[in-house]
Amino acid sequence: MFLQTIITGLSIGSIYALMAVGYSLVFSVLNFSNFAHGAIITLGAYIAWAIMVHYFQVPFLPALLLSIAGAGILAFLNERIAYSTLRRRRAPSLYLMISAMGVAIALQNLLYATIGAKLYALPSVFEQDTFDVGGASLSRMDLFAFVFSVVAIALLHFGLTYTKVGTAIRAASYDMEMVSVLGVNLDMLVAVLFLIAGGLGGMAGVFMGVKYMVYPSMGWITNKAYIGAVIGGLGSLPGAIVGGILLGLLEALVTVTTIGSVHLSTYRDVFSFGTLAILLIVRPTGLFGRLVEEKL
């Protein structure tokens, strides 16, 4: 039973971690919370639906890669349309955040208006989905998602550490002004940043769509990703991963606990958001983060 809870926690935690990394990536460089990340995740899932179910019958792996690419491009466009002007005018983070919220709501309602709010299921990827592990069941899809995410994040880490663009991104996360003074094309840097963040989001969206289902408001789960990112320390990528997984485990444990006759499962979100609030008060840098003044 405990093992099952841990497995459930890790499976949902890995999705939170994936979302939190995309989130933290943007925050580390541009210092604002990209609330439109949820919309990108949703669109990633819809792209997968469109090419796997609705228009074509593309098999899973190519569809996954196409969705990642598609979501990356959408994130890039999102940046160009909603953020770049504000960024060039050196607008405060608050404006960027409001713009992000606007994009999130607009995209969600665009989905309502065009595709409609019907629930869609992505086809099952593996025939015999679960197998037994020490008395608990582990889903093949979960395992695949976990491994794929690990590989993706490892690739990201590799890219950030050993490529020129990656180094520039890391430098920009410390001081964007300095980086542009030193001759780096900021526009291109931000574009690459959003392509990567969007790609990770698209990945998370497809995994969520396969595990559960596809519907317009699925992006709001990024509120949880935000909590994960903050727990781990906003701006820190390893922190985002750890935070996301910890949050997943915490939620799973809370859900199965019963104190007396009170099911804590109904208070699960109270725990999640309460942890966020307490953490922001007690240790605003989170577990791994650096001290940042504005935490929008």
Partner 1 sequence: MKARSAFGLLLLVVMLGSLAFPGGPVQAQTIKIGHEVALTGPNATWGESEARAVKMAAEKVNAQGGVLGRKLEIIAYDNRADRLEAVNVAKRLVEQDKVVAIIGPAQSGVANAIREVNNSAKVPVIATTATNPKVTVNDDGAVVPYTFRVCFIDPFQGTVAAQFAYRDLKAKTAAILYDVGDEYSQWLGKYFTDAFQKDGGKITTSEAFRSGELDFRAQLGKIKQSNPDVLYIPTMQKEAALSAKQARDLGIKATFMGGDGWGSPDLFDLAGRAIEGSYFVNITALEDPAIQGFIKDYRAKYNEDPVLPNPVLAYDAVLWLVDAMKRAGTTDGEKLKGAMEQTKDLQVLTGKLTIDPKTHNPLNKPAVIQETKGGKFLYVKTFVTSD
Q: Which of residues 51-80 bind partner 1 (CB under 8 A)?
A: none
| Cβ-contact 160, 169 below 8 angstroms | yes
Start-to-end CA distance of the chain, whole Å, equals 39
Distance CA 26, CA 12 (A): 22
| Cβ-contact 179, 169 below 8 angstroms | no
What would the two tokens of residue 8 be?
Answer: 């459930």
**Binding-residue total with partner 1 (CB under 8 A):** 37
Binding residue (CB under 8 A) for partner 1 from 58, 73, 101, 137: 137
The CB-of-271 to partner 1 minimum distance in angstroms stands at 12
- Kind of pairing between the strands at 258-259 and 130-133: unpaired
Question: Is residue 5 close enough to count as binding partner 1 by CB under 8 A?
Answer: yes
Question: Is residue 110 close enough to count as binding partner 1 by CB under 8 A?
Answer: no
Question: Is residue 255 close enough to count as binding partner 1 by CB under 8 A?
Answer: yes
Q: Which is nearer to partner 1, 32 or 215 (CB)?
A: 215
Distance CA 110, CA 113 (A): 5
Binding residue (CB under 8 A) for partner 1 from 61, 119, 178, 182: 119
The residue type of 115 is I
Question: Is residue 121 close enough to count as binding partner 1 by CB under 8 A?
Answer: yes
Question: Is residue 180 close enough to count as binding partner 1 by CB under 8 A?
Answer: no
Binding residue (CB under 8 A) for partner 1 from 80, 157, 170, 263: 263
Q: Which is nearer to partner 1, 54 or 283 (CB)?
A: 54
Question: Is residue 84 close enough to count as binding partner 1 by CB under 8 A?
Answer: no
String of contacts with partner 1 for each residue 200-229, x by CB under 8 A:
--------x--xxx-x-x--xx--------
DSSP string, 280-293: HHH-TTTTTPPP-S
Q: Positive or negative CA dihedral for 230, 236, 237, 238?
A: negative
The CB-of-137 to partner 1 minimum distance in angstroms stands at 5
Distance CA 21, CA 157 (A): 11
The CB-of-295 to partner 1 minimum distance in angstroms stands at 26
| Cβ-contact 29, 169 below 8 angstroms | yes
Closest CA to 190 of 87, 74, 295: 87
What would the two tokens of residue 141 be?
Answer: 């899809």
Q: Which is nearer to partner 1, 11 or 33 (CB)?
A: 11
Place of tokens 């405060």: 92
Which stretches within 163-221 are classed as H helix? 164-174, 176-181, 186-211
The CB-of-266 to partner 1 minimum distance in angstroms stands at 4
Binding residue (CB under 8 A) for partner 1 from 77, 85, 94, 112: 112
Question: Is residue 139 close enough to count as binding partner 1 by CB under 8 A?
Answer: yes
Question: Is residue 31 close enough to count as binding partner 1 by CB under 8 A?
Answer: no
Distance CA 237, CA 58 (A): 32
Binding residue (CB under 8 A) for partner 1 from 124, 161, 163, 185: 124
Question: Is residue 118 close enough to count as binding partner 1 by CB under 8 A?
Answer: yes
Whats the size of the chain, residue-wise? 296
**Residue ranges in contact with partner 1 by CB under 8 A:** 1, 4-5, 8-9, 11-12, 112, 116-121, 124, 129-130, 136-137, 139, 208, 211-213, 215, 217, 220-221, 251-252, 255-256, 263, 265-266, 268-269
